[in-house]
Amino acid sequence: MPHGTTPDMKPASELTWRSRYDGVRGRSLALADPLSDEDCGAQSMADASPVKWHLAHTTWFFETFILERMEARFQPFQPAFRILFNSYYNGIGERYPRAKRGLLTRPSMDDVRAYRANVDARIGRLLADQAGNRQLASLIELGLQHEQQHQELILTDVLHLLAQNALFPAYSDDTPLPAHSVAAQAWVAFAGGLAEIGHDGEGFCFDNELPRHRHYLAPFALAERLVTNGEYLSFIEAGGYRDPALWLSEGWDQVNLLGLTQPLYWQRDDTGNWCEFTLHGVQGLDRARAVTGVSLFEADAFARWSGARLPTEAEWEVAACSDACGEEGSQERRLRQMFGHCWQWTSSSYAPYPGYASAPGALGEYNSKFMLNQYVLRGSSIATPPGHARASYRNFFPAGARWQFTGIRLARQ
């Protein structure tokens, strides 16, 4: 759930804004509670970032895009942070190399906490002084949405870090895990036809969800629920990782280069039983739980082996906006587990919608430039903050990415 974003107007009272701001910002710090300062500083691979860096970068975002623009006599909290915590905005200037973020032992976590407190206080004053400023509201909403994206990354990056440690420490037992599915797989059919997809204009959205536009769909069906660990294990036991006919060519190369034989966090214990490393530590593999930690390549191979395919993002969105979605416990034939369990790979390459336009300036710089060789995921995961998900949301990662909470929903014609 990387980057993305342009604002949308958001009028509300100062108190409402302050409360929402404090809620989201406080949640980020709370995510670091189970971690030591040492945990927060380490970076397990170039694709992941240290927790400390996430906490500082999201603060840099408010400082750079709000305080610097709207404070009367702006002074940066620490000039060097302007470079250290810039992520990829070429328009904003120099950046510190991404792969070296784990080497920034200074500033310390305490310094970063002080940075957050300083920026929070100044944002508080702006909100008090300029209640009703629609641009301020828009930028704060954008900053909070951006921070929520990084909250998800904090959890996925921490899980990846802890998985590198031979001690396999647990993050916390309080975080949710993907839910169980006990029902047999079933299908929900859709008639297709000319549909509209994209955000419909109410509430916040990122610019990649716009403009809403028409799209023609042939009839299709989606699986009621996510693919389970148990189903995926059957694929493994049937030799799925050894049959090139099931794999996209680039996926087969990855399987062989990395010697892949299972999802990222699966392992076997000393007696050969399947386990999974989770935020709760190592657990016996729960066959009824939705499979996660799979790449698009693995999702696609599983689908082909199942005689099915992955949905397109348009199919997924049309289905999610239909009346076919149901509650977990319901008995009806309904799409379940669309949100809150794991992101669901689609077969859609991440591309601008027809008529898409980047926002001008640095805030818009970076969205469309990632629209190549990445694939869209839909839904949301156990790590997605409450209220952050919606049917038009477009998450995206390269086809080989495995360290997110990524899973599989099947489709067929």
Interface with a copy of itself in residues 148-187 (CB under 8 A) = 161, 164-167, 169
Interface with a copy of itself in residues 72-91 (CB under 8 A) = 80, 83-84, 88, 90-91
Rounded Cα distance between 29 and 34, Å, is 10
**Nearest distance from C-beta of residue 127 to a copy of itself, angstroms:** 31
**Nearest distance from C-beta of residue 3 to a copy of itself, angstroms:** 10
Give per-residue burial for 117-149: e unless 16+ CB within 10 Å, then b: eebeebbeebbeeebeeeebbbbbbbbbbbbbb
Q: Which is nearer to a copy of itself, 123 or 153 (by Cβ)?
A: 153
Rounded Cα distance between 400 and 310, Å, is 15
Name residue, tokens 């790590």. Answer: 383
256 binds a copy of itself (CB under 8 A): no
Rounded Cα distance between 50 and 2, Å, is 15
103 binds a copy of itself (CB under 8 A): yes
Q: Structure tokens of 96?
A: 């510190």
Interface with a copy of itself in residues 354-393 (CB under 8 A) = 354-355, 365-366, 369-373
The candidate with the shortest Cα–Cα distance to 145, out of 50, 62, 241, 248, is 62
Interface with a copy of itself in residues 39-58 (CB under 8 A) = 39-42, 44
Cβ(311)–Cβ(412) under 8 Å? Answer: no
Cβ(41)–Cβ(53) under 8 Å? Answer: no
Among residues 69, 134, 214, 242, which is the contact residue for a copy of itself, using CB under 8 A?
Answer: 214
Q: Which is nearer to a copy of itself, 68 or 365 (by Cβ)?
A: 365
Interface with a copy of itself in residues 296-325 (CB under 8 A) = 296
Q: What is the DSSP string of 334-346?
A: -B---SSB-EEEE
242 binds a copy of itself (CB under 8 A): no
Q: Which is nearer to a copy of itself, 141 or 157 (by Cβ)?
A: 157
Residue 245: other Cβ atoms inside 10 A: 8
Task: Provide the binding-site residues for a copy of itself, judged by CB under 8 A.
Answer: 36-42, 44, 80, 83-84, 88, 90-91, 96, 100, 102-109, 161, 164-167, 169, 194, 213-218, 244-245, 247-252, 296, 347-349, 351, 354-355, 365-366, 369-373, 399, 413
